[in-house]
Amino acid sequence: MIKQANNINGKLRKPVLLTAAATLSSLGQAGLAQEEDTGELPPVMVISKAPETETQSVTLLSGDTITLGGISEVRDIQTALPNFTVFDANNTRMPKFSVRGLRENNYGSGQSAIGMYVDGVPYSDMMSRGLSLYDVDYIEFLRGPQGTRFGVGAASGGVISINTRQPGSEWGGNAGLSFADHNSQEYRLNASGPISQTLGVSISGLYNDRDGFIKNVATGSDIDSRETTAGRLQFVLNPSDPWTLRLTGSTERYDDGFMPAYNPLSDVGPHKVNRDFPGYVDTDVDTFALTAEFDGSQYDFSSVTAYRSWEQDLQQDFDFTAIPVVMPQIGFFPVIGVSQPDVEQFSQELNLSSQESDTFNWALGAFYSDRDTDNVSGSLYPQGMLHPLYGQLPGPIPNYTNASMNDEDKALYWEGDLLASQTGVKITAGLRYQDSDRSINRSNSTSSVNASDDWDAWLPKLGVSYALNERDTIFASAAKGFQSGGFNYYGGTPESAQYDAAESWNYEIGWSASWNGGRLHTRAAVFYSDFEDYQVYRLNPMNPTEAYMVNASEASSYGLELEAEAAVSDRVTLSAAFGLVNAEFDSYTDSVLRSVLGPHAAGYEYGGNDINFVPEYSANLAAHIQLPWDLYTNWEVQGIGDYWLDEANTAEQDAYALVNARIGYKRDNWELFVYARNLTDEDYSNNALDLRYTDYSNPAAPRPAGMILQIPGWERTIGAGLSASF
């Protein structure tokens, strides 16, 4: 439930009980290499372990947690990581991350808060990361800036690396299917093995389909259906002992219905809306990559060359009513929101590293990326509109902004580790040079922008870890983060087209430990980040179909993270994660809003306010219980704390908790299971757009009635499935 700031009650509800329970948090097992299926279940739903000498926090998720009825999309990863929250953007195929006080925006402008890779292929934009997860070996999340390790690791949030299963020396695979309410169905299949002694192949696919959770009262139909078709083909060639070549091609097709935005002024509720235009979101994704790896006696080398294409066609009812006709007496004209982004990206990443030794290790890297984004966005008036000079004009009338942008990034980076095995000390030092060129050509009916600029930065890193004994390691790090500046593709004024680069210093101190003969693993860390020119997403108060990026001069965040994994007995394993964060704008003036209101008005100063869309805590608790007769059960609870919806801190999302469960029978290579997602059918919003500032006479003052568009989370889903490996 979303509430106003002057009506804060019931704040410490059941999620806080979950928080108290989750002060343990996860650090577990490392065996993530693909092995033959022994018929045994993974010991927990969440597995996380950092290398003993790591100088920053690292979490690993086993591919066994990513399965039918479980984690199935990038947006689901938040169920296992502290201080890591995923919101929907203007549709559920565009996840936006909030990490340690650094949060991303809704419309895809600006630089991402984290870097993301799939099998070494970078996803550097903020539009194309809504992937379906299938045939995954493991997922690695490295917190804090990773610019001295990864080509797209400069941002302070960290790097997510998704690694799929690779062909082995023998043929094998698995298949599965599941059915659930809302007419949900899903099918998965993968197979891999050798074609010859030097060539292997892997093929995998996914199809799922479901009806919507949201009813269109005007027509009686479910309006937010989803359909996914995805496939991946990999060839792995070993021409000689040191060389491995991998050619990968993947494709995804998403055919979705209405963007589930609930308008409290015209809709019955979050899951019952009124629309005359049903809307749709169609997305096409294609990826091709060539990877070359050399494993030598003195050094290792890798090269990843990739091409990615992502395009989306979105049309939604943007008057948020079921009224299909013009009503000039009240100034009403039906309007359809249109967004048609098209992203093409070429990237090249090279890495050269020394063979691992007991004294000194080093790695060099180079990265190049060239991304073109064409976008058509704005409003379509199917029945016409009212012109201030010519009166009512017949439709259809498009009011679009056309933008073509080019983003070019170049980086060189180095990192070295000095190890003193006798004392248990490891010192890590690194340096990165980043250069980012941005250009835009944008036009609409009232203005045009043709501009270019570039931003560069030197980004150092220093870390140290000390093994107190065989069980305990303490670590600390300091690293500089960077997000390039750029241009807004919406149709605002030329003066508001550009925003600046954001830089940050990020500090972390932590302690990892093993207890009770290795049956309990824990990790605790505290962090602090100091941001300069923090990038903030805003809606234009004079036209809510437009959005823009501005810079908050100064911001900061600090917090705590705890993780633990415990083998309570041979049959019971628990894991938990808890994150607490406080993030504030230290100095922030919205320059665009200030230009609307004038220099002597009030309402555009946000210094001292909490950063919105940063939950004050996150908590995750998972339990795996092995039952007699080859039965098992998994339980998972996720809690998300309160967070503000706007920079002015006048509207807030209540804390909420989600419960997921799974009960199954597994023997040899077969598994039969039933599952529930959001078992308690919790109502919550996975994102919201604050449109209360559309009073043209005073955009700084939110209207008491308000209009906060909510994107509701998914309702309870109960299903059953069958899977088999071969």
Residues 6+ apart with CB under 8 A from 117: 123, 150, 152, 159, 160, 161, 162
290 alpha carbon, distance to own chain's centre: 25
Top-confidence residue, 28 or 305: 305
The beta strands (E) that lie in 181-317 are given as: 184-194, 199-210, 215-216, 221-222, 226-240, 243-256, 272-273, 280-295, 299-317
Q: What pLDDT score does 24 carry?
A: 32
Local confidence band at 699 (pLDDT 50, 70, 90 cut-offs): low
**Residue type (1 letter), 475:** F
Q: What pLDDT score does 589 carry?
A: 86
pLDDT at 539 over 90: no
Determine the 3-state secondary structure of 593 from DSSP. helix
Q: What pLDDT score does 327 carry?
A: 85
- The span from the CA of 475 to the CA of 462, in Å, is 11
Determine the 3-state secondary structure of 87 from DSSP. strand
DSSP letters, 682-713, are: ---EEEEEE-TT--TT-TTS--SS--EEEEEP
**Confidence (pTM):** 0.87
Local confidence band at 77 (pLDDT 50, 70, 90 cut-offs): confident
pLDDT at 14 over 70: no
Task: Count the neighbouring beta carbons within 10 Å of the beta carbon of residue 197.
Answer: 8
Local confidence band at 602 (pLDDT 50, 70, 90 cut-offs): low
CB-CB contact of 406 with 372 (8 Å): yes
The beta strands (E) that lie in 382-447 are given as: 385-387, 391-393, 397-420, 425-443
Q: What pLDDT score does 202 carry?
A: 95
Q: Exposed/middle/buried for 526, CB within 10 Å: 0-12, 13-18, 19+?
A: middle
For 83-99, write each residue's pLDDT tens digit. Answer: 888 888 777 888 888 99
Local confidence band at 485 (pLDDT 50, 70, 90 cut-offs): very high
- The span from the CA of 310 to the CA of 131, in Å, is 11
pLDDT at 592 over 80: no
Local confidence band at 586 (pLDDT 50, 70, 90 cut-offs): very high
Q: What pLDDT score does 110 carry?
A: 75
CA distances from 134 to 237, 692, 721 (A): 23, 40, 15
Top-confidence residue, 258 or 284: 284
Q: What pLDDT score does 541 carry?
A: 61
Q: What pLDDT score does 10 carry?
A: 37
Q: Is the dihedral of CA 38, 41, 45, 49 positive or negative?
A: negative
pLDDT at 238 over 80: yes
Local confidence band at 441 (pLDDT 50, 70, 90 cut-offs): very high
Across residues 198-223, what is the average pLDDT? 92
Q: What pLDDT score does 647 carry?
A: 85
| Segment of 142-146, 155-159, 556-560 carrying the highest mean pLDDT | 556-560
Top-confidence residue, 328 or 506: 506
- The span from the CA of 527 to the CA of 557, in Å, is 8
Domains along the chain? 2-725 (2.40.170.20)
Q: Exposed/middle/buried for 620, CB within 10 Å: 0-12, 13-18, 19+?
A: buried
Question: Residue written as tokens 């954001």?
Answer: 502
pLDDT at 233 over 90: yes
Across residues 145-172, what is the average pLDDT? 91
And the tokens for 30? 């490392």
- The span from the CA of 229 to the CA of 76, in Å, is 18
pLDDT at 433 over 90: yes
**Residue type (1 letter), 476:** A
Length of the chain: 726
Q: What pLDDT score does 27 carry?
A: 31
Average pLDDT of the residues of the chain: 84
Q: Is the dihedral of CA 379, 382, 384, 385 positive or negative?
A: negative
- Nearest CA to 546 out of 591, 497, 484, 501 is that of 497
Local confidence band at 407 (pLDDT 50, 70, 90 cut-offs): very high
Residues 6+ apart with CB under 8 A from 422: none
- The span from the CA of 726 to the CA of 724, in Å, is 7
pLDDT at 47 over 70: no
CA distances from 241 to 30, 245, 297, 709 (A): 26, 11, 11, 57
pLDDT at 697 over 70: no
pLDDT at 40 over 70: no
Across residues 571-598, what is the average pLDDT? 86
For 93-139, write each residue's pLDDT tens digit. Answer: 888 889 999 988 767 777 888 999 999 999 988 888 888 888 888 88
- Nearest CA to 104 out of 124, 123, 86 is that of 86
- The span from the CA of 481 to the CA of 430, in Å, is 13
And the tokens for 73? 């999309």
Q: What pLDDT score does 420 carry?
A: 84
Across residues 475-483, what is the average pLDDT? 95
Top-confidence residue, 515 or 328: 515
- The span from the CA of 323 to the CA of 275, in Å, is 7
- Nearest CA to 481 out of 30, 26, 111, 47 is that of 111
For 339-395, write each residue's pLDDT tens digit. Answer: 899 999 999 999 999 988 888 999 999 999 999 999 998 889 998 887 777 778 888
pLDDT at 38 over 50: no
Looking at the DSSP assignment, which residues form a beta bridge with residue 377?
A: 339, 401
pLDDT at 234 over 70: yes
Top-confidence residue, 516 or 703: 516
